[in-house]
Amino acid sequence: MKATLLTQLKKTLTLWAKGAVTSVISLVGTSLPNRCLMCHQSMLLPDSGICPACLSSTIYQQAVCLGCGRGMQVQARYCGSCVTKSPLLVIAPCSYHQGLGRWVGAIKYQGQLAGLEVLSRALIERVWELESAGILVLPQVLVPVPLHSKRLRKRGFNQAWLIAVAIGKQLNIPVSSLGLERCVDTKPQAELTGKQRRSNLSNAFTLEGELAYQRIALIDDVVTTGTTATEIASLFEAKHVHVQVWCLARAEAPGLLD
């Protein structure tokens, strides 16, 4: 009897402690300043990171080709230039060059995660929009672009994993590396030209083991030339797996959205 009472008391105290911690976190959260990263105006919870006004003005305002990022009159999978080549599908909610690029970059380079949730949500809405239009088929699993172990230790986190987890929870899609690894500690792509990027990433990734999936989405923070995505996609495609790329922003070539 005494043991049973002690057990019940411990359970009661544990529940009380959890409730107290939740209340404190909620109180602290509501008392801290909640301002938009872009316009610095105050926001009401649950909004955070980037306010709805700034987000709606910086996501795509027109249909874009999922191959090259070119602006189009009507949303389709590819523009006229890409339809015969069928390049990798790249799904993003915005252009890196039209306001949100700074905050996408801040996630990786400054560990500024305040905008991650709202940008991930914008990507999810973009995915839903394309799926409902019959342009996109949802993948079976999300695969974050891996970091080399040295880079991961230095940075402390992989932004692609954080994005994938945030998206996976909302879409109920599992997240897995599927045996994909970055085996070469390459130079940062941002410092290189297009030709140097391709050379830099040659044989930089490995993919081991059998795969139980036929459709994957490769997750990254930003797609620029698409070199990283293309290099990884070639490994999956060799195993007859269809690859699409999801990212928070796309840095398309100059003039494509003019």
What are the structure tokens assigned to 246, written together? 């999801």
Half-sphere exposure of 45 (CA within 13 A, CB side): 9
Those residues of the chain that have pLDDT short of 70 are: 1-33, 187-200
Query: Whole-angstrom Cα distance, residue 181 to residue 48?
Result: 33
pLDDT for the residue 223: 95
pTM: 0.83
Q: Who contacts 57 (Cβ-Cβ below 8 Å, separation ≥6)?
A: 99
pLDDT for the residue 194: 57
Q: Who contacts 239 (Cβ-Cβ below 8 Å, separation ≥6)?
A: 207, 211
pLDDT for the residue 1: 54
Q: Is 215 helix (H, G, I), strand (E, B) or coil?
A: strand
pLDDT for the residue 210: 87
pLDDT for the residue 47: 80
Query: Whole-angstrom Cα distance, residue 140 to residue 237?
Result: 15
For residue 99, count other CB atoms closer than 10 A to its CB. 17
Which one-letter DSSP state was computed for residue 242? E
Could you read off the pLDDT of 41-84 as tens digits, one per residue?
998 888 888 999 999 999 999 999 999 999 999 999 999 999 99
- Angstrom distances, CA of residue 65 to CA of 41, 138, 246: 33, 18, 14
> In terms of Cα–Cα distance, which of 60, 117, 115 is closest to 92?
60
Query: Whole-angstrom Cα distance, residue 77 to residue 136?
Result: 8
Give the chain's largest Cα–Cα span. 78
pLDDT for the residue 146: 94
Q: Is 234 helix (H, G, I), strand (E, B) or coil?
A: helix
